[in-house]
Chain A
Amino acid sequence: MNVLSCSINTLIKEGLYEISGVEVGQHFYWQIGGFQVHAQVLITSWVVIAILLGSAALAVRNPQTIPTGGQNFFEFVLEFIRDVSQTQIGEEYGPWVPFIGTLFLFIFVSNWSGALLPWKIIQLPQGELAAPTNDINTTVALALLTSVAYFYAGLSKKGLGYFSKYIQPTPILLPINILEDFTKPLSLSFRLFGNILADELVVVVLVSLVPLVVPIPVMFLGLFTSGIQALIFATLAAAYIGESMEGHH
């Protein structure tokens, strides 16, 4: 009796659940030391790093005075990153270009790799491969790095006078300024995390429901917004750095 009801339940559940096989919060765990890691995030991040380093090394091998093809594209990307940094940070933007550029490129390639690369080919024992930025660890890591970066920028430029910005323009705003130091990384991380995860969820649900034509506009929208999110993250990071480095009003 028990076995029968179990099998019927299994059949019903599996039949129903086959229609919508969405796995949220499923991770592929590895043990490192006494700690767990999300292996799917690490694997996809390694792929992203390989793509970035490989394509950059290939394109910059033999720089020509008149650039063509790959070199042209990478020069365009570098000029774009320099422009974003210069607009936000000002004249001393030079040392910050690697940081802002890597932020932008890592997030952009992560998001687009999650949307474009056929990760489903590789079956994990649990969970699935997707963009590394759909994990809260990645986005919070990037946001914390940004926080450290703008603190470092302010402290290295102004020394301990950096902390006078907490009582600008009036000391009444001190709690709000302190709160800002928490909300900045929080908003950065959650904006990116929510956008990428939600887009993936929408696409997966649509594909499992109506797999033919309907998901395609949503996929294009996903490509567009994920690109924008990379730009927003990098621009905001540059803006925070510039804000903490700027002189007295």
Chain B
Amino acid sequence: MANSIMASSKPLISLSSSTQPTRVNLPKSIKLPQIPKPISSSSSSSSLSSKALSFSSATVKSLALIAALAPPSMAEAMEKAQLFDFNLTLPIIVVEFLFLMFALDKVYYSPLGNFMDKRDGEIKEKLASVKDTSTEVKALDEQAAAVMRAARAEIAAALNKMKKETEVEVEQQLAVGRKKVEAELQEALASLEKQKEETIKALDSQIAALSEDIVKKVLPS
């Protein structure tokens, strides 16, 4: 009995919390050499050494034993290959995973997800409103341009008007000046004519005297 227990590769199982006294611990089919514990070394070292040497034969023996012992005894814990040891751990992990999923959903996915979606929605709204403001800005721009154009046209019209008025004035003054000049010209001409006539008259008398002189000088008498 002690030998069979100690012949297992998990010698501390018999000292652990497991409560099955008649456990048949069979040699494992997949394992590396185990460190034999000092407690078990007394009676098991020989069996362990032989076991370490006869690995494959132990595997065959274990499989045969499993096949033979599996049906009758369910109270004995059968550990075949510990690597593929399915037990209550599996459903417990399922429950733990489902708990984790719902807890994470409540703590992380839903709050943060909703927050991110809301933020995305706000950003989209702002973007859309910014697009509308840009058309408003364009309309305002056009208004400003129209106002500028109107102002310029006004100024041009006022300028033209002023130009015309001053032109008329200028023309008027020019006409007045011309008239004056003409009048003076006429005066001057008239005075010149008068002087011409006077000089001609004066010359006339002198011409008569001169011609008499000339006749006297020319004709020998």
Give chain A residues whose Cβ lies under 8 Å from the Cβ of B100: 49, 52-53, 102, 106
Interface segment out of the listed B104-112, B127-135, B185-193, B201-209: B104-112
- Interface size on B (CB < 8 Å)? 58
Kindly state the interface size class of chain A when it binds its partner.
Answer: 35 or more
Asked whether A98 lies within 8 Å of B96 as measured between CB atoms, the reply is no
Give chain B residues whose Cβ lies under 8 Å from the Cβ of A13: 33, 35-36, 45, 48-49, 52
Asked whether A24 lies within 8 Å of B104 as measured between CB atoms, the reply is no
Residues of A whose CB lies within 8 Å of any CB of B are 2-3, 5-7, 9-10, 13-14, 16-18, 20-27, 29-33, 35-38, 41-42, 45-46, 49, 52-53, 56-57, 60, 63, 65, 71, 74-75, 78-79, 82, 97-99, 101-102, 105-106, 125-126, 132, 135-138, 140-142, 144-145, 197
Asked whether B41 lies within 8 Å of A41 as measured between CB atoms, the reply is no
How far, in Å, is B43 (CB) from chain A's closest CB? 8
Give chain A residues whose Cβ lies under 8 Å from the Cβ of B33: 13, 16-17, 20
Interface check B34, CB cutoff 8 A? yes
Give chain B residues whose Cβ lies under 8 Å from the Cβ of A42: 89, 92, 96
Interface check B12, CB cutoff 8 A? yes
Interface check B101, CB cutoff 8 A? yes
Cα–Cα distance between A98 and B28 once the two chains are bound (Å):
40
- Closest B residue, CB atoms, query A57: B107
- Interchain Cβ contacts under 8 Å between A and B, 5 examples: A5-B46, A13-B36, A22-B32, A79-B116, A98-B104
Asked whether B89 lies within 8 Å of A6 as measured between CB atoms, the reply is no
Cα–Cα distance between A20 and B33 once the two chains are bound (Å):
9
Give chain A residues whose Cβ lies under 8 Å from the Cβ of B86: 136-137, 140
Checking A2, A10, A18, A38 against B85 with a beta-carbon cut-off of 8 angstroms, the contacting residue is A38
Interface check B67, CB cutoff 8 A? no
How far, in Å, is B112 (CB) from chain A's closest CB? 5
